[in-house]
Chains A and B, each alone.
Chain A
């Protein structure tokens, strides 16, 4: 297996860029291309980047069918309140999934599809398993969970119609220094709300491990879902203590107020994050090594510790205004 053409959707995001960078070092990858509405976050050497908006259906289809990939990695999934509002995120994700996966179906060379999914897909309704394995029923209870279930359904439908394999990489909440994450943003606030009545445990995954999992899924032509979760778990209160933040105990109806207040302060809490804080979010990562040949390097507690060690953004006003600098230069 060498000289494969690999196409990465969502290559402009932090995770997509990381995936593309890792793919550039893979021996089996021949040519590499990607699309996104935003340019990649880092310099890519071998990747051809196409700047296309998810609503630009015709051009997306032309770009992908012209490239005729062997492997499609669909990372173009917008997490609510990460880079877009929940409503916009849902629309963008749906548009991207329809155009990209639909276009992939038209490619004769296509052999496998890998889609980014999440453990939010299992839902946290009454009676749902504490640590669902990949075989657990899909019963999403959040907007993001429903979006992910739709993406997996579209990918499975395309794969069945054109006879290719499809693998879903179900990631825990991805945290990393530049990854826009509503959970990460909330935990870094000076005062953080937590469920006083339950404070259930949740698990996360670091961005490097998540990208390695997506690359391994493409390399191994993953043909089933796999949970990608860092070992261990942590509760919100433990995380708050580790980060030396102020814990704000919140009971049932107060969550409504806490979410509104947090939104005003710049860290919106979408429903899947609120669910993780009130009902917990774990998943069984026992098949990760078997299916992908890798394990997570960083545990959940270490990811949370890293989260609190990222440098904050320091805003320094320019000593000379930009307009004046341009004027002086000209």
Chain B
């Protein structure tokens, strides 16, 4: 009998030129996106695929986002993703852009203004009004929707999660996913980590279902933030509490 130390775990190996394969896949996905959603195509919710592509390309100048945990999200069904947000970070917007790229399907974000120009632009990028009925309609239609907790000045603090938006997900019968975001006002690096779907602990018939679920989502985001650790630059900037990088 051979020693267990002699057994080596064999990880699957990707044969062939991975760089070429990766580039081919990316090109194929981009080509498919351009052909299936040509410029000037506006979907049922007013999202303009051509404009979205342009703006996401431009957004990469500001944010370089790495997305993790996107395998938890359903392939076709609707889902509500709740993220934490640092003040003025626009976490819901860059999260929606990054998740959309990761899962290769449109992702909406909650919180577009209802004025003429800015509201119309946000709608063309996938923005929804911050209204439970609007969110419920999108979730029923099988859309992925990103909603942000109330913003906080502390990067490790998770603000209040709007229970009415959670209620829209409960009423629509879709899963709610917590997602932790970290970003910095001084660098491009940002990260999103999506957790597993949250099931309500107790079966509730009334509005307690969404209150308790909102509370659970907030706790799960805090946990994800702790697991993610800090983004460090290796400079004294990390020591500053308001830099968005340092401790609480």
**Which residues of A come within 8 Å of B, CB atoms?**
126-127, 129-133, 135-136, 195, 197-201, 203, 231-235, 238, 241-242, 278, 280, 282, 284, 286, 301
B114 in contact (CB, < 8 A): yes
Decide: B131 and A129 in contact? CB cutoff 8 A.
yes
Show 18 residue pairs from A and B whose CB-CB distance is below 8 angstroms, ordered by the A residue.
A129-B133, A129-B134, A130-B134, A132-B137, A198-B116, A231-B44, A232-B42, A233-B42, A233-B46, A235-B46, A235-B48, A238-B42, A242-B40, A280-B46, A284-B140, A286-B137, A286-B140, A286-B141
Which residue from chain A places its CB closest to the CB of B128 in the assembled complex? A130
Decide: A133 and B137 in contact? CB cutoff 8 A.
yes
B129 in contact (CB, < 8 A): yes
Chain B, 21-58, CB within 8 A of any chain A CB: 40-46, 48
Given contacts A127-B114, A130-B46, A133-B137, contact A197 B40 (CB under 8 A): no
Q: Point out the residues of chain A lying under 8 angstroms from B44, CB to CB.
A: 131, 203, 231-233, 282
Interface centre among A195, A199, A242, A284 (most CB of B within 10 A): A284
B220 in contact (CB, < 8 A): no
Q: Point out the residues of chain B lying under 8 angstroms from A286, CB to CB.
A: 137, 140-141
Q: Which of A136, A198, A233, A280 contacts B43 (CB 8 A)?
A: A233
- Taking the closest CB of chain A, its distance from the CB of B39, in whole angstroms, is 9
Decide: B123 and A200 in contact? CB cutoff 8 A.
yes
B233 in contact (CB, < 8 A): no
Q: Point out the residues of chain B lying under 8 angstroms from A199, CB to CB.
A: 120
- Taking the closest CB of chain A, its distance from the CB of B168, in whole angstroms, is 12
Chain B, 112-165, CB within 8 A of any chain A CB: 114, 116-117, 119-120, 123, 128-129, 131, 133-134, 137-138, 140-141
Given contacts A233-B46, A282-B44, A282-B46, contact A197 B137 (CB under 8 A): no
Interface centre among B45, B119, B133 (most CB of A within 10 A): B133
Given contacts A129-B133, A129-B134, contact A197 B42 (CB under 8 A): no
Decide: B116 and A126 in contact? CB cutoff 8 A.
no
Which residue from chain A places its CB closest to the CB of B112 in the assembled complex? A130
Q: Which of A127, A129, A131, A235 contacts B42 (CB 8 A)?
A: A235
Which residue from chain B places its CB closest to the CB of A301 in the assembled complex? B41
Q: Point out the residues of chain B lying under 8 angstroms from A301, CB to CB.
A: 41
- Taking the closest CB of chain B, its distance from the CB of A139, in whole angstroms, is 13
Decide: A201 and B46 in contact? CB cutoff 8 A.
yes
Which residue from chain A places its CB closest to the CB of B130 in the assembled complex? A127
Q: Which of A126, A135, A241 contacts B40 (CB 8 A)?
A: A241
Q: Point out the residues of chain B lying under 8 angstroms from A201, CB to CB.
A: 42, 46, 123
Q: How far is the CA of A318 from the CA of B48 in the complex (A)?
A: 49
Q: How far is the CA of A147 from the CA of B134 in the complex (A)?
A: 25
Q: How far is the CA of A201 from the CA of B48 in the complex (A)?
A: 9
Decide: B40 and A129 in contact? CB cutoff 8 A.
no
Decide: A198 and B117 in contact? CB cutoff 8 A.
yes
Q: Which of B116, B128, B140 contacts A197 (CB 8 A)?
A: B116
Decide: A129 and B120 in contact? CB cutoff 8 A.
no
Q: Point out the residues of chain A lying under 8 angstroms from B120, CB to CB.
A: 197-200, 280
Decide: A238 and B137 in contact? CB cutoff 8 A.
no
